[in-house]
Copies of this chain bind each other. A is one copy, B any other.
Amino acid sequence: MEHNLQQTTSLLARTPSALNALLRDLPETWTMRNEGENTWTVFEVIGHLIHGERADWMPRAKTILEFGESRTFEPFDRLGQRREMQGKSLDQLLDEFARLRSESLTALRGLNLQQADLDRRGQHPALGKVTLSQLLATWAVHDLTHLHQISRIMARQYQDTVGPWSAYLGVLQCGGHSSS
């Protein structure tokens, strides 16, 4: 399958402003509550997205381009957001995410990737061989998976408030899918 990189980056570029429009200055009922034990708040999800910008997407793309399959990716610390969140407000996290995403996309454009580059393979610690194309597509769908999660975390806060309508609201039937 041909991967249209412009299509991918057009989504990646919009995620920070969409989250900003949805979340900035929203009452904490929506943003600082989770779905129960061992689940994340919206605040924590933004911390996780920040950590991904620093430690996951572009670093792994560079690993593929420099080392191919000869160097396994650093495992991604799924709790790395704890450091990102410390002492920060949601507004600060939203700003930080926007800044880092913009830097990531500038760096990506700077690579001027061609189809042959997208086909290059790297070594994932659990999944085995993956292509640069798959990594970049995953970056975009990872944004969507967390938008999906955010809408569900928020909806849960009104699970009882909607009364009998809960039966009609798909998001309230979503049990979550692994951690997101």
A residues sitting closer than 8 Å to B (CB atoms) are: 1, 3-4, 6-7, 10-11, 14-15, 17-23, 25-27, 29-30, 124, 127-128, 130-131, 133-135, 137-138, 140-142, 144-145, 147-149, 151-152, 154-155, 158, 160-165, 167-174, 176-180
Contact = CB atoms under 8 A, between A and B. Distances in A.
Nearest to A26: B10
**Copies of chain A in the complex:** 2
B174 A177 contact: yes
Contact of A128 (B30, B158, B164): B164
Given A10-B26, A124-B164, 16 more contacts: A7-B29, A10-B27, A15-B22, A21-B21, A22-B147, A130-B164, A133-B163, A137-B158, A138-B162, A138-B168, A141-B165, A144-B155, A145-B172, A148-B174, A149-B170, A172-B177
A13 to B, nearest CB: 10
A167 B38 CA distance: 21
Nearest to A29: B7
Given A141-B169, A142-B169, A171-B141, A134 B162 contact: yes
Contacts of A17: 21
